[in-house]
Amino acid sequence: KIYGLPSTSDINNGVAVLYIRKDWMEKVGAAEPKSIEDVVAIGKTFMEKGLAKYGIAMSNESNALSYTGLMNAYDAYPGAWIKGQDGKITNGSIAPEMKTALDALRKLYENGFIDNEYISKDNNKAIENILAGDVGIMIGEFWSPLWPLQSGVTADPTVDWNCYRLPAAGGGEAIPYAKIPVSGY
């Protein structure tokens, strides 16, 4: 008999986690975010108080968690096969929720919440913005405190990040997309 044994990784790899500068939240008196709208309000406050240039770290990579995490907050799942409103399987990239999520992303871009040059920045360039203190919010992986966040803390010990479950638009918790953790057989 021939058996196919899966080569797996941690199911949590690729699941969006929200990170916000705790030291900045304390400085501006911000409370823990309960919705994605709260996250945006915190980022705008960081910008208004001169702590951050941009509300959130963003790269041009469509599979980056900054992008997919924001989409998931609006119940949109680009590139994933999901159960549609009619109960049938559909591609999340063409689901109606995607239009709402893209409109929200467009507004964030137009209002300067997202770096207007993000389209030319890969993940490494977006991380440079984080380490330079240009942003106080990022969406990353469960291991992001080890890298890149620890690099910023090592450079400036006053930097303090907190992690949160990704909140949904309107409140509650978003359901982040997780890829099947099988890389081969």
Distance, in Å, from the CA atom of 102 to the CA atom of 96, rounded to the nearest integer, reads 10
**What backbone torsions phi and psi does residue 19 show, to the nearest 5 degrees?**
-120, 135
Cβ neighbours, 10 Å, residue 85: 9
| pTM exceeding 0.85 | yes
Where do runs of H (alpha helix) occur along the chain? 22-28, 36-48, 65-73, 96-110, 123-131, 150-155
- pLDDT 10s digit of each residue in the chain, 185 long? 999 998 887 766 778 899 999 999 999 999 999 999 999 999 999 999 999 999 999 888 766 778 889 999 999 999 899 988 889 999 999 999 999 999 999 999 999 999 888 888 888 888 888 999 999 999 988 888 998 999 999 999 999 999 999 999 999 999 988 877 788 88
